[in-house]
Amino acid sequence: MKDNFNRNIDYLRVSVTDRCNLRCIYCMPQEGIKFVPHDEILRYEEILKIIRIATTIGISKIRITGGEPLVRKDIVSFIERLSKIQDIKDMAMTTNGTLLKKYAKDLYEAGLKRVNVSLDSLDENKFKTITRSGSLKDVLEGIEQAYKAGLYPIKINVVVMKGINDDEIEKFARWSMEVPYQIRFIEFMPIGQNNWEKELFISGEEVKQKIENTVGSLIPVEIKKSGPAEYFILEGAKGLLGFISPLSAHICTRCNRLRLTAEGKLRPCLFSDREIDLKRILRSGASEDEIRQILIKAIQLKPQSLSDNRPLRAMSTIGG
Ligand code: SAM
């Protein structure tokens, strides 16, 4: 379905939990997080019902996210039920990868097509500093398992922060020579009460320049369904390098998505705190058609471009 700015909205990102087993410095505070009570989180049946209705207005791509989706109980059987919904053409997951070693094969067999893994450092100590607890080894093993299981393509998301991990841009770029993954550099965004400061920001263009100065020329690559990312390849590389620049580039013109938070709020735009309480409507016994109308309304409420306001909620509670 088209929104008011002629964008085709066919993509729903669904957060299945606000819980996470990491505390990345750019995403969540270390302590004092108020999690949504369990009975306020959408049940799997409710999510499946919303997705089924969403497919009737043209949603055909689903991404499961969180929080950390793999910490939610029975996630594999949920994926299996999701994969049976007709008209879903693409079903992906965004994960921090810590539990992928355990789940990759089961997820693939349940019908998941692909994963995006967040990985902001290739150095064990720095990885611990950024995630405040995680193990790099677990994530790297998880990525390998995902690749072996057949989840394809594997996308690696790197949030680049000046003075924190920008010294690893070259290392990540060289990694693309060896691994068949799409390694994407993402601009650090001011979302919620995270530690965003102008001094930490480094634009996609600056990252590209660093790679061209230290590793080699970036050759543009056209990929179908590339979403907000721009892709390049280094000569002879097995993998690709991508750039997602929500702050410095005008990616809103290509925005095709709605978000559903873990507690059932429909969010037309990541950068706007405007939300529709779909769970309240769903739990009040609304008909399928009433729910469909709410989804249509959310599409119509999508703003043309992001506002200058800093969204109040952390990415982990919206579903990145
Ligand atoms: N736990 C999963 C994970 O780590 O991928 C899914 C949720 S996480 C909130 C989704 C994505 O949002 C991750 O790739 C993460 O790096 C990104 N993210 C979170 N906060 C961000 C920020 N302030 N700027 C840019 N990306 C951010």
Residue 301 alpha carbon to ligand 1 centre in Å: 24
Cα dihedral 173, 176, 181, 186 in deg (nearest 10): 10
Mutate to test the pocket of ligand 1, among 22, 313, 315 (most ligand atoms within 8 A of CB): 315
Residue 1 alpha carbon to ligand 1 centre in Å: 27
Q: Above 90 in pLDDT, residue 191?
A: no
What Cα–Cα distance (Å) separates residue 307 from each residue in 6, 114, 259, 269, 270? Answer: 19, 31, 17, 10, 10
Rounded-to-integer distance, Cα 198 and Cα 190, Å: 9
pLDDT reported for residue 226: 58
* CB-CB contact of 89 with 60 (8 Å): yes
Res. 208 pLDDT band, cuts 50 70 90: very high
More confident residue, 316 or 168: 168
Q: Which residue has the tokens 């002879």?
A: 236
**Ligand 1 atom closest to residue 27's alpha carbon, by position in its atom list:** 20
Residue 17 alpha carbon to ligand 1 centre in Å: 14
Mutate to test the pocket of ligand 1, among 107, 159, 191, 247 (most ligand atoms within 8 A of CB): 159
Q: Across residues 256-262, what is the average pLDDT?
A: 96
Q: Across residues 281-299, what is the average pLDDT?
A: 97
Residue 46 alpha carbon to ligand 1 centre in Å: 24
Query: What's the CA angle centered on 139, arms 134 and 143, to 5 degrees?
Result: 165
Does residue 153 have a cis bond before it (omega within 30 degrees)? yes
Residue 285 alpha carbon to ligand 1 centre in Å: 33
Q: Which residue has the tokens 């922060």?
A: 161
- Cα 148 vs. chain centroid, distance in angstroms? 22
Rounded-to-integer distance, Cα 279 and Cα 287, Å: 13
Give ligand 1 pocket residues (Cβ under 6 A): 20, 26-27, 65-66, 68, 94-96, 118, 157, 159, 186, 188-189, 191, 194, 315-316, 320
92-136, pLDDT tens digit by residue? 999 999 999 999 999 999 999 999 999 999 999 999 999 999 999
Residue 99 alpha carbon to ligand 1 centre in Å: 16
Q: Across residues 34-41, what is the average pLDDT?
A: 95
